[in-house]
Amino acid sequence: MDGAAGALSDTERFARLRLARSRQVGPSTYVALLARYGTGIAAVDALAAGMTGRFSRVVLSPQAAIEQELERAHRLGARLVLLGEDAYPPLLAALSGPPPALALMGDPAVFRRPALAVVGSRNASLAGTAITRALCENLARCGMVIVSGLARGIDTAAHEAGLATGTVGVFAGGLDRPYPPENKGLMRRIVDRAGCLVSEMPFGREPRAVDFPRRNRLVAGLSHGLLVVEAALRSGSLISAASAAQIGRRVFAVPGSPLDARAAGPNQLIRNGAILVTSADDIKTGLRGAVSLAGASSQPSLALFGGGEDADILGSLLGVAPVSIDDLVAQSGCAAPRVQEALLELELAGRLERHYDGRVSLCG
């Protein structure tokens, strides 16, 4: 028995879910139980009878707990999917030791499209969120699904940029325990706009610190590659990058100033072999052969922000003498986030110099 589910009866699905939620049952034990007994029903019966041997430490999940979880899923409009069923994400299923069961809410069709994981700092800079939005919007227009962990900062910017074409949000706790709470509205929009929410945790599970590395592995496993925008040297984003590399996913990183601690993680990744990203085309090129994208260009481009009208305005205000960004906001009449985006566009085009005191100027 290879653990494939196929078309299962309700009784067999219930038994397999009970196995998946049992203590001391991880991915390998789950598959081993099915291989030994042939069906989930037979495995549950053997465990209930107090069998010994290599599975003697397994503590069978109570039937009432599974009934309660199924009821919670029904009330939320979610579903529980077992390894081997059609709705189970194929990229995840191909890994060694995928989760036996997933809770899904939304459209699982997104799992059959090219996908990029995007992670980064919760305390993101304006420039970091701007480039995240620009990159993800560009990739989404080409058919790429954006996968992230629903955290503040870079994760939120990535999800919002991918809403129009579908994005995947991965929970650290149960699907009925959204975290952070302020992103509940974003989670609802993901589901309403043909995206999907996913968790390997049972309903009712509050997210704990130890659960986030598992969430990070799920983010990487659901994607063809992983992009880090801003991250400290000791951060969950670098754990995600390490997970991606371990499972054979391509790792990308946006470089930043050595004076910004949030750039230390991506800069280190680039030194260690990650693909340097200054435009969406760097990611498209890096994933060539792994995915097929609609309208993907083979020519590098630094035009991340569309027409560049704001960049033109700022370019006319800037000179070789350094000025503060606050002064630029006041003189240009542009909103601060748009000023940051335009400055980043100028910087990527090689026209802007940033000074140690935070001021900026055109390159001499």
pLDDT, tens digit, 9 for 90 and up, residues 256-287: 888 889 999 999 999 999 999 999 999 999 99
Last residue of a domain, one of 233, 252, 286: 286
Does residue 135 sit in the same domain as residue 187? yes
Does residue 181 sit in the same domain as residue 273? yes
Question: Residue 81's pLDDT is what?
Answer: 97
Does residue 22 sit in the same domain as residue 137? no
Are the CB atoms for 347 and 339 separated by under 8 Å?
no
Q: Using CA atoms, how far apart are residues 252 and 273, in angstroms rounded to an integer? A: 9
Q: Using CA atoms, how far apart are residues 274 and 51, in angstroms rounded to an integer? A: 49
Structural domain of residue 1, as residue ranges? 1-61
pLDDT bucket at 301, cuts 50 / 70 / 90: very low
Mean pLDDT calculated for residue range 314-320: 72
CATH number of residue 316's parent domain: 1.10.10.10
Closest by CA to 191, choosing from 223, 155, 219, 150, is 150
Does residue 228 sit in the same domain as residue 128? yes
Of 98-112, 238-252, 306-320, 328-342, which range is least confident? 306-320
Residue 309 has pLDDT above 90, yes or no: no
Residues 26-52 pLDDT 10s: 999 999 999 999 999 999 999 998 866
Of 89-93, 173-177, 269-273, 324-328, which range is least confident? 324-328
Does residue 136 sit in the same domain as residue 229? yes
Of 14-28, 32-46, 201-215, 325-339, which range is least confident? 325-339
* Integer angstrom CA distances of residue 50 from 20, 24, 47, 55, 187: 18, 15, 5, 10, 42
DSSP output for 5-35: --S--HHHHHHHHHHHTSBT--HHHHHHHHH
pLDDT bucket at 104, cuts 50 / 70 / 90: very high
Residues 181-191 pLDDT 10s: 999 999 999 99
What's the structural domain count of the chain?
Answer: 3
| Mean pLDDT (the chain, rounded) | 88
Instruction: Kindly state the tokens that stand for 298.
Output: 């083979």
